[in-house]
Structure 1
Amino acid sequence: MGRREKVATSLAGTVGAGIGRALAAVDADLARRYPGDPGTRQPVHTVYVPADAFDAGTIRSWGDQALAALDEHAPDAGALARALGLSDALAEPVYARVRAKLEREPVEDLRIDFEDGYGPRPDGEEDDDAARAARLVHEAYGNGTAAPYMGIRMKWLEAAVRDRAIRTLDIFLTGLVEAGGLPQGLVLTLPKVTYPEQVTAMVRLAEEFEKARGLEPGRLGFEIQIETSQSILAADGTATVARMIDAAGGRATGLHYGTFDYSACVGVSAAYQSSDHPAADHAKAVMQVAAAGTGVRVCDGSTNVLPVGPAAQVHEAWRLHYGLTRRALARAYYQGWDMHPGHLPTRYAAVYAFYREGLEPAAARLAAYAAKAGGAVMDEPATAKALSGYLLRGLDCGALDADEVSRLTGLTRPDLEGFAIPRRAAPAVGGPQARP
């Protein structure tokens, strides 16, 4: 090795040390507020089922009803392609994967609903349903019939229903702990949040429960449902949702957009309440920017147009749902709500088409980046992170297979995860489980 030339500098070593001291608080704040994506599996949807209607067979029933809808209204790949406008190249692989998914894992995330889908009930009845929900969730994880993620949506924390919300959450969590412990895929949803102080109150509930049951601090995370205009823009003109994330103290796992409550709140008439309305786009864009880098995921809303009735009506509802889902995916909203078993075929068809049609270009770009081979697009580390994240999400939901991704990229799953790692290390907080 040749002799290195001496490199000239002008600044004293104390300058860097001084700057480091000056920015130490900023470094700590960046690490706390913006740890990056947690690297866990994100479900492609959330299904809401009223607490009184949920039973041990609910998930399988949704899958069977979805398969029956396919059998009746799209019995083969060609029929589904015609209904949705899929290309010939995508029709067969998408159709086959949709059917396999509905047979194997029809629901990725299920929320037992004690809020709008359940309504006001006598206290004794809600007590019983909360205890039953805990028992059924525990049994489902024990016998292998659970969705990857399951939990409850409690009532909100405004005065009229606050005590009921707290009691239901307590009964449900206590039932799980006493049955054997909290499942890894447990998810809790706090609806109709308007003020950051309500998030602070939810944090206090979580802390008090952890203390009461001897749980690890931070074990309980929760989603925040965005359903009011005040949750987007506060009276002082600031972005309330950003303050909510901060108020959660690392416990927030997701922001869920409530299509119909939010639309009504800003005065959108019923005929135009949709997840692609400009008011919805604005709210979700604010949510997305507020959540960026924090590790909190943004979830799109739903459509209330159900695929029921004669074939023409079902196909029209399917095309609407398929289009809204594809639109959301292109805007980086990788999760949404599904309101009916008939939405499952188009949820998975849209998700699978999104990942399969982009598989080869994404794989080629990532392979070129990994090999430093260049190509038609000059990608940077941030783009490599996005490309690997895209492939990992496709693998998680069943759109892609590990062997085809490895063949096209020359990379293993750990390699992909290496490119997709968060920019900063995040503290362990309760919430969605690690990718399998």
Structure 2
Amino acid sequence: MAQKDELARTLSSRHVSMIALGGTIGTGLFLGSGESIHKAGPLILVIYLITGLFVFLMMRALGELLLSDTKKIIFVDFIKEYLGDRTGFIMGWTYWLGWLVIAMSELTAVGTYMQFWFSHIPTWIWELAFLAILYLINIIAVKAFGETEFWFALIKIVAILAIIAVAVIMVCLHTKTNHGYVQFSNLWRFGSSSGHPKEIISAFQMAFFSFLGVEFVGVSAAETKDPFTNIPHAINSVIMRILIFYIGALAAIMIIQPWPNYSAGHSPFVQVFGGIGIKAAAGIINFVVLTAAASSLNSSLFTTGRMLYSMCPSTSWLGKLNRNQIPMRAISLSTLLVALVVIINYLSPQGAFKLITSIASAGFLVIYMFLMLTHAKYRSSNNFLSANSKQFLMPGAPVTDYLTIIFMFLIFLILLFTPETTSTTVLTLIWFVLIYLLSFKVVKR
């Protein structure tokens, strides 16, 4: 097969850093963490810390692979090389489909969030408008995409830093609210958790899915100016960002308002802002989650376009770059498929769409496990053993590879045996069986 053309390398260090950060902060934190706090209490901080450690190890494995061959377009190319074309085919198309479904769900969320301010305007108008704008950003230049993600991520960062600063100030001033005084002891004086083992275990699943998309920095690696400097910097900073933006943010809201006062199904950020008398709390958080959804949609268009380009032969219509070295055709086809969600939302109930999204989430978990297997295989290959210089080595490999796989497999079991997610996990397994059978007709020996 002909060699793929080089993608444009125009993403700077600040772009890559913000892309890595944007991939770790999403609606899972702003909206989903309320249920996690409700189930696990302050023990959620330990759960996020343990989960974040294994996510960091996965990122280090990804970083080492990326720097071992910077000509690879996407990390799935490493799966092909070390686990075979069939496995690469299965993981590649699963990853593409997963991001496609995420794009559809985030586009739906964008329309829903805009209804908060403009309830008289149909959601499909907002969905098509946002999709058109982000599509244009993606096909103009890679740098335009990087700038957009930079500002999307900055909005999320400011919101989190604001709540941490408010917590520190209120503790120093010994402020009293409707829930009592704001003090550090609010973290432990009401107990460490709900006390239900099943609920505490299920919080691991929710914490893990809050990090979904953190591997996105690997998708942008082929378009980074100086990968040997920018990628290690972005990945090494992930663990510090987890501590600040997850542990710090969740600790802050539980210091301001004792954790038993948070209810599942509602954003804890809205609840805490409302509890301290900020009447515009709902509007502020709605704006933040709108940017989070738009950021995820933007990343989805970027990823699905690169995945299609990577998976298709260089001689095919989708395997071509435009004059700006962007896979415009692949992005365009992915965008058209995402636009189908407007019709799906009209014809299908919302519950059915949530079902599909859950399937995609379980699929990502399997992809992450195969990524770790790929790294372990790389470490025993001649490419690693005969390399003159070894870049950005993952600590403790291959032992840490297998420990991470075990951790992720346990989360997959939690999904499988939790009644709310059993059906979606089974459907994910069915998808893998079907795509495996299809691979025998598509992938050559």
For Structure 1 versus Structure 2, the TM-score category normalised by the shorter chain is under 0.3
Larger Rg: 1
- Structure having the higher helix fraction is 2
TM-score scaled by structure 1? 0.24
TM-score norm. by structure 2 comes to 0.23
